[in-house]
Structure 1
């Protein structure tokens, strides 16, 4: 399957991408991909080193005639989101991504593709390896752990890079040039509880929510997609209120930056209520599907009798848990008042686990406004604290404030129009790019972000456009030819 990908144009990019995807690179476990990149740079006899936190930096001198141009930092992140369908048997820590071509798209077999941000990495690798592409002095910055903490960008010291222009290759629409992004903060709510014995004359029902689109918790949050944790909580709340059901366990969602696609719960109710529960809950499921039919055509919610567990949540804790999740906002909180159609602030209830005496809930709040970010985070924190949870706010990272007077923004916007015959969409995005963090240690660096079209990032439906990658590759090369001279 990967051979078919290698034969796509531009071959120099897709071959690098295939090489990259042969190396396991989940966030927090990037040792192998770091070693791979170091070996890549050294084989090219380029100045290659790893900084104190694990970022890989590879430097390449300018081609003839470009020595007096400003030095450019080319930046992408090495790690990828590791999501797979439940039925897919795949180990992200030992296996390479299995890719295939479907028309104009490259996709993966039941897993995330890693085009976010592997295509950016592959394009930089192709430039470093090329003997014909014209460019100024280059500093390739490959950061680690972008998807789960941005610790690579946060740990980059201020004296390592000399470039004055940074090209971040980590956006997902090829007609957009990014000039700003959202910051974020993680909310973790945790509570221990006493378990109760399962009552006699009870029946256990497994509830399964699956088939949702999922997607990027920033870029896709405005689409009104279903959140498996919220859907499950709605069903559990109804079951508890109307049928006095007890919860044995809940396991929903996964990564903090992915809209949860699946959730499973086991509930207990009196045997005499089984038929009425199934009848009414089936009607509720029908209503939920009707509400989401436009955006979630493949949503499936199943009810199945299962083996009776020995323990359940106690009713007091259960009531607090269900009401807290109901009260916590999920989705768009506020739209920007200064940039049209930009989500300013949002929250994703990313994962919920309730079993064996512990409930843990994880959220990711994003905003291009620092004050609004903490306003929403404190609102959600308050909802969980009122329910007796211990709540922590961690992993705070800043947004990237737009600079409408950016020199590189003007250059890239002008080039895009000349190449494509129409204007690019110059915009900020509701995603956590590393530009905001990098800008703290390198405040004088002028930055833009762009990339090829990618759909379904952070989900097993992720796919990358072949024709768009060709467009992106041409654009990137033209930008490097048009970097201004040093002043």
Structure 2
């Protein structure tokens, strides 16, 4: 499996990526990949250790003639987002990623690929293993749990690293040099409700929204992709307004940092209204698909009859719940007034669960401005509290403030122009990189972020461009040769 990937150039990078993708590495369950990385470093005879939270650090001395250069920290995260298509049979806890080549792209069969941030990890591994690549002293930092809380970066103690420059290999456009990113906070609304017995003469239906693109809730949030939870709520709201539809359960979305692609709801309606219900649902479904036909050509809304559920949500709670979800901000809240085309603040309504008397709504709010982040978080809190929910804030992490005068930015900008004949796009991004967190304990460290073209991150459409990886690899090697002297 994956033998064709190993034949791609640069082979040293693609072989390490293939080795890495054979190891299950979901966020919060990184034990196997931590062991894999520790064994890798020790097998090379390099100083290798795991810190108290699970980050792995491997140190390699400078190659001959490079001893007078500043020490470089090369950093990527070990965990990956686990998403799969609904009809894909795959166990992320036990199986390695099944990859294939499609033209100029490497993809996975029905699952996320793990190029985010596996290409960065593989890059560092290839450099650590090489006996021919010129480089200064390297401290390789492999963090854990970037995708669901950044607890690795948060738990990294000051003093473990001595490097002056940090190269974060977690950007997804090969013409971009990252100098800043958004911070974020998890916003979770919960409440219990009384269930009512379903009366006689009711009929059960399952409503399914699927086929959406999904994507990264930071990098893709401005693209206007459909959010399965918002679309489902629109159907439920309309069904209640017109036919007294009652909710039995909802299961929508998955991870906070992934735009939800699918949602499923079990509902009940009056048996005598079935024909009118079908007609109304078909009409609103077609209207939604027409609205999204350009961005979401594969959007499917299915209405199928099922056994009538025995219990349904309390009527008053249902009214408040659907109204709150309708009112809650999803998508771009504010564009940056200072940086063209940069999303400043956004929210992703990522997960909606209604079952067995419990409601949970999970959001990820992002912003490059702390005050704006909390403004939106409090707006969501107020919206959900008005319907009786308790709202919790968790997983707060800071953004990374751009330093447009850093020496490492000058090095990368100059090299990029020399190698490509044009200027790189120097930008902040709306994703949550670890640089801002790492900078709290290492405030004097210069930081920069870059990487190859990766599309569809956090979705089963994730893919990495082969030619871009080749371009990026050459860039990495030139950067290491041109690290400033101490």
The interval holding the TM-score normalised by the smaller chain is over 0.9
Helix, strand or coil at the partner of 1:127: helix
Cα deviation for residue 129 of structure 1 reads 0.3
Helix, strand or coil at the partner of 2:334: strand
Find the aligned partners of 2:444 and 2:466 in 1 and give their Cα distance.
35
Cα deviation for residue 238 of structure 1 reads 0.4
Q: Name 2:412's counterpart in structure 1.
A: 412
Find the aligned partners of 1:35 and 1:393 in 2 and give their Cα distance.
32
Cα deviation for residue 306 of structure 1 reads 0.6
Find the aligned partners of 2:114 and 2:14 in 1 and give their Cα distance.
13
Matched, 1:390 2:390: yes
Q: Name 1:93's counterpart in structure 2.
A: 93
Q: Name 2:244's counterpart in structure 1.
A: 244
Q: Name 2:194's counterpart in structure 1.
A: 194
Cα deviation for residue 199 of structure 1 reads 1.2
Q: Name 1:172's counterpart in structure 2.
A: 172
Q: Name 1:455's counterpart in structure 2.
A: 455
Find the aligned partners of 2:404 and 2:172 in 1 and give their Cα distance.
21
Cα deviation for residue 222 of structure 1 reads 0.2
Q: Name 1:400's counterpart in structure 2.
A: 400
Write the deviation string for residues 57-100 of structure 1: whole angstroms up to 9, x where unpaired.
00000001100100000000000000011111111111100000
Find the aligned partners of 2:68 and 2:389 in 1 and give their Cα distance.
58
Find the aligned partners of 2:388 and 2:417 in 1 and give their Cα distance.
55
Find the aligned partners of 2:92 and 2:435 in 1 and give their Cα distance.
27
Matched, 1:434 2:434: yes
Q: Name 1:48's counterpart in structure 2.
A: 48
Helix, strand or coil at the partner of 1:382: helix
Q: Name 1:317's counterpart in structure 2.
A: 317
Find the aligned partners of 2:147 and 2:57 in 1 and give their Cα distance.
19
Cα deviation for residue 485 of structure 1 reads 0.4
Q: Name 1:265's counterpart in structure 2.
A: 265
Q: Name 1:297's counterpart in structure 2.
A: 297
Find the aligned partners of 1:199 and 1:459 in 2 and give their Cα distance.
40
Cα deviation for residue 325 of structure 1 reads 0.4
Helix, strand or coil at the partner of 1:230: helix
Q: Name 1:13's counterpart in structure 2.
A: 13
| Number of equivalenced pairs | 486
Matched, 1:183 2:147: no
Q: Name 2:84's counterpart in structure 1.
A: 84
Cα deviation for residue 470 of structure 1 reads 0.3
TM-score (norm 1): 0.99
Helix, strand or coil at the partner of 2:444: coil
Runs of 4+ in 1 over 4 A off after TM superposition: none
TM-score (norm 2): 1.00
Q: Name 2:334's counterpart in structure 1.
A: 334
Gaps of 5+ in 2: none
Cα deviation for residue 479 of structure 1 reads 0.2
1:52-201 correspondence runs (5 A): 52-201=52-201
Q: Name 1:350's counterpart in structure 2.
A: 350
Helix, strand or coil at the partner of 2:476: helix
Helix, strand or coil at the partner of 2:180: strand
Helix, strand or coil at the partner of 1:214: coil
Find the aligned partners of 2:224 and 2:410 in 1 and give their Cα distance.
34
Write the deviation string for residues 133-174 of structure 1: whole angstroms up to 9, x where unpaired.
000000000000000000000000001000000000001000
Write the deviation string for residues 100-119 of structure 1: whole angstroms up to 9, x where unpaired.
00000000011000000000
Find the aligned partners of 2:263 and 2:413 in 1 and give their Cα distance.
43
Find the aligned partners of 2:314 and 2:153 in 1 and give their Cα distance.
43
Q: Name 1:215's counterpart in structure 2.
A: 215
Write the deviation string for residues 147-206 of structure 1: whole angstroms up to 9, x where unpaired.
000000000000100000000000100000000000000000001000000110111110
Matched, 1:278 2:278: yes
